[in-house]
């Protein structure tokens, strides 16, 4: 039995949504580490396969621990149902494979997460899928890119790592006017700070690896919709292509999501302090943080998001060489890809997360050679700044 959580506040939902009453009174959702589930009878098995009865058959199709995590995130997104996947990219490709066929067209954010773009250019192109990548923060560019064959508009906001913000409500109107669906990669904001489905998007998806889990110990993904038919279509593709989450992954992610709001509240408060400090530093050329008034879409972000998050991009006056020196000199922050965890991470998109893109495409997406990305963790902000300060001294 699923507890009624619709009237609960968001912090209460993080802790309780999706949980069911365990017959033995377990306070936490157990890990149902079982690949398959016994049927009571031949008729029961047939009824489950036929969809006439609710229940569990096989973990690729569904599992109680995974279902609990799906229901929890669906609740946080104000959606109806969720689909947990083996990775964030599993969520991205499930959306593509469900909604794009031969000769059909995708319009997407140019500065989207690198592999979300390269999988289209390198692999879906082999199956005749067409795509145009534009600056979706410019709604004219977005609208002009839509063709009669466009089925899906895909937006990442804020985008990784250029921190561009797309007007989700306007993008939804444009997409729907032209008969397309809108999917939003909500990884950078998390459902605590942004609810794309409430703004009109059809799909909100996540790399669970980042903020939702938050402890750099799980790779996972999630797709949430309000529409049950769309959910069923996406789920059937996830099951067919076999990119399900594992029960143990779901257990860890459920544990992580309980503190999502607490972690983000602290990290984004520090991020504002760090971004302001960086912007005033003589060795820093520019800082891109959606919470700073200098961010080109700061007003839009204030309207569409419930907070500014903890992701900062910046470039030093000394460009790439100075940036490398900083990355090699930090001691508290870890030089590693990924983001949204309790620990501060620093990385260089042009040679790491976005190395799969051509330099021309990178520059067009606002990813300069010297751009450094910093994911602010929950350490003491004085320690984060002292660490960056000593690293900047060496640059
Ligand atoms: C990390 C990330 C992904 C991919 O997620 P994985 O869990 O690494 O597969 C997709 N979108 C964004 C914005 C990301 O940061």
Report domain extents, the chain: 10-257, 261-393
Q: What's the confidence (pLDDT) of residue 3?
A: 55
User: What does the pLDDT read at residue 358?
Assistant: 87
Q: Which of 135, 185, 202, 246 is catalytic?
A: 185
Residue 210 annotated among the catalytic residues of the structure: yes
Q: Which candidate, 393, 395, 387, 363, places its Cα nearest to that of 162?
A: 363
Q: Which of 288, 291, 311 is nearest to 300 (CA)?
A: 291
Which residues make Cβ contacts (< 8 Å) with residue 57, sequence separation at least 6?
36, 37, 45, 48, 49
What's the token pair of residue 345?
């991470």
CA of 198 to the centre of ligand 1 (A): 22
What pLDDT tens digit does each residue of the chain (395 aa) get?
355 677 899 999 999 999 888 889 999 999 999 999 999 999 999 999 999 999 999 999 999 999 999 999 999 999 999 999 999 999 999 999 999 999 999 999 998 998 999 999 999 999 999 999 999 999 999 999 999 999 999 999 999 899 999 999 999 999 999 999 999 999 999 999 999 999 999 999 999 999 999 999 999 999 999 999 999 999 999 999 999 999 999 999 999 999 999 999 999 999 999 999 999 999 999 999 999 999 999 999 999 999 999 999 999 998 889 999 999 999 999 999 999 999 999 999 888 888 888 899 888 888 888 899 999 999 999 999 999 999 999 99
Q: Which of 96, 113, 289, 374 is catalytic?
A: 113
Angle at which helices 64-76 and 247-257 cross, to 10°: 30
Could you tell me if 130 and 106 are in contact, meaning their C-beta atoms sit under 8 angstroms apart? Answer: yes
Helical H runs in the chain?
10-16, 42-50, 64-76, 88-99, 114-122, 139-145, 168-177, 190-193, 228-241, 247-257, 260-280, 298-304, 319-329, 359-364, 381-394
Per-residue tokens: 117: 């773009």
10-257 is classed in which CATH architecture?
A: 3-Layer(aba) Sandwich (3.40)
Q: Which residues pair with 224 in a beta bridge?
A: 82, 204
**Pocket lining for ligand 1, CB < 6 angstroms:** 87-89, 92, 113, 116, 156, 160, 185, 187-188, 207, 209-210, 219, 221
Question: Which residues, at least 6 apart from 96, have a Cβ–Cβ distance to it below 8 Å?
Answer: 106, 119, 120, 124, 129, 152
pTM of the shown model: 0.96
Of 22, 15, 17, 19, nearest to 7 (Cα)? 17
| Ligand 1 closest atom vs CA 208 | 7
Distance 349 CA to ligand 1 centre (A): 13
CATH number of 261-393: 3.90.1150.10
**203 Cβ neighbours under 8 A, 6+ residues apart:** 95, 181, 182, 183, 184, 196, 197, 223, 224, 225, 230, 234
d(CA 341, CA 58) in angstroms, rounded, equals 32
Contact 377, 345 (CB under 8 A): yes
8 Å CB contact between 325 and 394: yes
């Amino acid at each position: 039995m699923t507890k009624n959580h619709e009237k609960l506040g968001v912090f209460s939902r993080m802790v309780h949504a999706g949980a069911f009453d365990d017959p033995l009174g377990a306070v936490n959702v157990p890990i149902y580490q079982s690949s398959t589930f016994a049927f009571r009878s031949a008729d029961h098995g047939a009824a489950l396969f036929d969809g006439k009865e609710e229940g569990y058959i096989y973990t690729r199709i569904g599992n109680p621990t995974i279902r609990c995590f799906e229901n929890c995130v669906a609740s946080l997104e104000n959606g109806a149902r969720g689909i947990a996947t083996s990775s964030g990219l599993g969520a991205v490709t499930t959306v593509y494979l469900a909604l794009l066929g031969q000769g059909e067209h995708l319009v997407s954010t140019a500065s989207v997460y690198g592999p979300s773009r390269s999988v289209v250019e390198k692999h879906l192109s082999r199956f005749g899928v067409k795509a145009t990548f534009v600056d979706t923060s410019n709604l004219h560019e977005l609208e002009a890119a839509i063709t009669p064959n466009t089925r899906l508009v895909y937006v990442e906001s804020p985008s990784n790592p250029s921190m561009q913000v797309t007007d989700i409500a306007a993008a939804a109107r444009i997409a729907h006017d032209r008969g397309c669906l809108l999917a939003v990669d909500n990884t950078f904001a998390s459902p605590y700070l942004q609810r794309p489905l409430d703004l009109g998007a059809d799909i909100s998806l996540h790399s669970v690896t980042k903020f939702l889990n938050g402890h750099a110990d799980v790779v996972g993904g999630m797709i949430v919709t309000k529409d049950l038919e769309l959910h069923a279509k996406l789920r059937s593709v996830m099951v067919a292509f076999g990119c399900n989450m594992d029960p143990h992954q779901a257990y860890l992610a459920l544990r992580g999501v309980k503190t999502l709001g607490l972690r983000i509240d602290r990290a984004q408060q520090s991020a504002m302090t760090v971004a302001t400090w960086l912007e005033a530093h003589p060795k820093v050329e520019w800082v891109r943080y959606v919470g700073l008034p200098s961010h080109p879409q700061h007003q839009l972000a204030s309207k569409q998001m419930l907070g500014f998050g903890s992701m900062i991009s910046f470039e030093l006056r000394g460009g790439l060489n100075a940036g490398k020196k900083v990355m090699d000199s930090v001691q508290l922050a870890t030089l590693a890809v990924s983001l949204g965890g309790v620990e501060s991470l620093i990385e260089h998109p042009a040679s790491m997360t976005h190395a799969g893109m051509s330099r021309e495409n990178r520059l067009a997406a606002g990813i300069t050679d010297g751009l450094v990305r910093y994911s602010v963790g929950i350490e003491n902000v004085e320690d984060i700044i002292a660490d960056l300060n000593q690293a900047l001294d060496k640059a």
